[in-house]
Amino acid sequence: MRLLRLAFVVALASGLAAILIYITGVSDLDDGIRLSSEDLDALKSLQSHFQKCVSANGLGLQAVSGSDNCEVSLKFPSDTVPKWKDPKTGEVEGLSYDFNLCEAVATWEQVRNSTTILTREFIDVLPNGWEEYAWRRINKGVLLNNCENRTLCMEKLSLVLPNRPPYTPRQFGRCAVIGNSGDLLKTKFGKEIDSYDAVVRENGAPVDNYTEYVGTKSTFRLLNRGSAKALDKVAELYDKGKEVLIIKTTIHDIINKMIREIPILNPVYLMLGASFGSAAKGTGLKALEFALSICDNVDMYGFTVDPGYKEWTRYFSESRQGHTPLQGRAYYQMMECLGLIKIHSPMRSDPNRIVKWVPSYSLITAARIASEKLLRRVGAGSSDPLAACSIIGKQVRGNFAVKQGSRKAAIEHQKYLKGTTMYPLEHNPGHGLLCTVPSGQT
């Protein structure tokens, strides 16, 4: 009898062990790549540096860690007076915002390696690109029946659709993105702004009569839908024909007509952007995204990022209701403390200001690798720069992406990517990239 009981106990233990092994095995398969101790150390170190950076540079903001190594909350002082109300619910803007450092590091690294200009090449390589994507970038696209009449769709996009990307990662060294905040009138940043290799402005913001505050240089201008419909007026703001105009929404028949008939001498393109989930919205974030995709270093001016703001203002017109200022300020502070940008404002006006506790490049790289594993990003854990490519196609014939005379950094980067052009895939599982490779490359 004892032998039977012993045998039963052994059998039961063996069965439980087998079940445990099976569950563990399934868990391993489900989790995919496991984080190493080095990965975990990198994420912990990133969060530690980030918290210290926000405390040292955030002008009252504090970063509080969440339930894991990725989650963090940026909290404003309790005496902060929020001014923005949700137009739908009437709720006042909050004083705490939750962010995921892992998602931010992984996504912004992809942005820095990608093109943010929509091209013919992207649509051609994207499976069913014309039927399922292109018509969405055309105003009244629903009437185009998913581009069943492809010729009509191509005609509507042709004026803003280059064959290949006109700009490449690392093409410019130092870039400045200029917002439209009334804070610009508090500090004379004009000469400082003009010293950058490229300057990105937004919508219909003028430079005349404000040059000592906003400078005169303007290389790119990012336009929302309203400004794009006044393309002829925007094109006259700065040396007509020189400034590159980038539309962040859809192409409109009105815009096509203006380009053909006025004509608009400026290059005009459509923005192809990454998805940032519930991050701060608006043209400002998209302008920073564009700048980070073509510049080594990005500085921002003219965003409402200092405490004590009274209302949402523009430097060239009357006060108006804008986006959520506190959420934007928190998000931009996160970007600065991840080493993506440097903030300039009335309270941070010293051009030689050192952003303390910014994580080193090696730490950001290690945290990015760990984040990609944790988030199950395409190609996570691979040293191959093309491992993140979900879709691969051949490049269209034409000029090579990096032109002769390009900066050394741009040429070296293109060599590292083996001549590949990378495009973000919005809402793609695993945040993979669409990549085009030179015709001779397998």
Residue 45 lies in a domain: no
Residue 16: pLDDT band by 50, 70, 90 thresholds? very low
What pLDDT is stored for residue 404 in this prediction?
Answer: 59
What is d(CA 114, CA 112) in angstroms, rounded to the nearest whole number? Answer: 6
Percent of the chain clearing pLDDT 70 (strictly above): 86
**190 inside domain:** yes
The confidence score (pLDDT) of residue 82 equals: 86
3-state secondary structure of 106: helix
Using alpha carbons only, give the angle 174, 175, 177 rounded to the nearest 5 degrees.
Answer: 155
Average pLDDT over residues 295-324: 82
What is the spatial distance between Cα 168 and Cα 425, in angstroms, rounded to a whole number? Answer: 17
Within 10 A of 166 (CB to CB), how many other CB atoms are there? Answer: 17
- Closest of 341, 326, 320, 351 to residue 204, by C-alpha: 320
Task: Judge whether 318 lies within some domain.
Answer: yes
CA angle, corner 28, sides to 23 and 34, nearest 5? 150
272 and 122 Cβ atoms separated by less than 8 Å: yes
Question: Is 84 strand, coil or helix?
Answer: coil
Beta bridge partners of 200: 177, 220
> Which of 108, 122, 111 has the alpha carbon at shortest distance from 436?
122
Q: Which of 54, 67, 44, 53 has its CA nearest to residue 371?
A: 44
H helices of 133-181, in order, are 150-157
Q: Is residue 10 part of a domain?
A: no
Token duo for residue 173: 């060294």
Q: For residue 218, what are the domain limits?
A: 109-119+162-437
Residues 86, 42: Cα–Cα separation, whole Å: 38
Tally: H helices and E strands in the chain: 15, 13
Residues 382 and 385: their CA atoms lie apart, in Å, by: 8
Number of domains in the chain: 1
Residue-averaged pLDDT of the chain = 87
Backbone angles phi, psi at 157, to 5 degrees: -95, -15
- Helices 101-113 and 325-336, axial angle in degrees (round to 10): 70
- Of the ranges 76-90, 100-114, 388-402, which one carries the lowest mean pLDDT score? 388-402
Q: What is the pLDDT of residue 401?
A: 52
In the chain, the amino acid numbered 243 is E
Q: Phi, psi at residue 202, to the nearest 5°?
A: -125, 140
Helix (H, G, I), strand (E, B) or coil at 250: coil
Give the integer Cα–Cα distance in Å for 69 and 160: 43
Task: Please indicate whether residue 12 or residue 326 has the higher confidence score (pLDDT).
Answer: 326
Residue 95, classified by CB atoms within 10 Å of its CB into exposed (0-12), middle (13-18) or buried (19+), is middle
Place of tokens 């405490």: 307
In a domain? residue 299: yes
Q: Beta-strand (E) ranges in 239-282? A: 244-247, 268-270
In a domain, 382, yes or no: yes
Residues linked to residue 345 through DSSP beta bridges, in sequence order: 348
Q: What does the pLDDT read at residue 33?
A: 66
The rounded Cα 355 to chain-centroid distance in angstroms is: 21
- Tell me if 170 is assigned to some domain: yes
Spatial CA neighbour of 364 closest among 339, 382, 329:
339
Residue scoring higher pLDDT (125 or 278): 125
pLDDT, residue 172, reads 97
> For residue 94, is it within any domain?
no
Local confidence band at 116 (pLDDT 50, 70, 90 cut-offs): very high
Nearest residue to 279 via CA among 101, 83, 31: 101
Q: Can you give the pLDDT at residue 8?
A: 43
CA pair distance 341, 364, nearest whole angstrom? 14
Q: Is the pLDDT of residue 280 over 60?
A: no
Q: What is the CATH number of the domain that holds 402?
A: 3.90.1480
What is the layout of strands, in order, in the sheet containing 96-100? 62-65, 71-75, 96-100
Binning pLDDT at 50, 70 and 90, where does residue 4 land? very low
- Contacts of residue 150, Cβ cutoff 8 Å, sequence gap at least 6: 130
The confidence score (pLDDT) of residue 321 equals: 63
Q: Is 50 exceeded by the pLDDT of residue 302?
A: yes
How many Å is the maximal CA-CA distance in the chain? 101
Over the stretch 156-203, which tens digit does the pLDDT of each residue have?
A: 999 999 999 999 999 999 999 999 999 999 999 999 999 999 999 999
| Tokens of residue 310, six digits | 């009274």
CA angle 294–267–395, rounded 5-degree value: 60
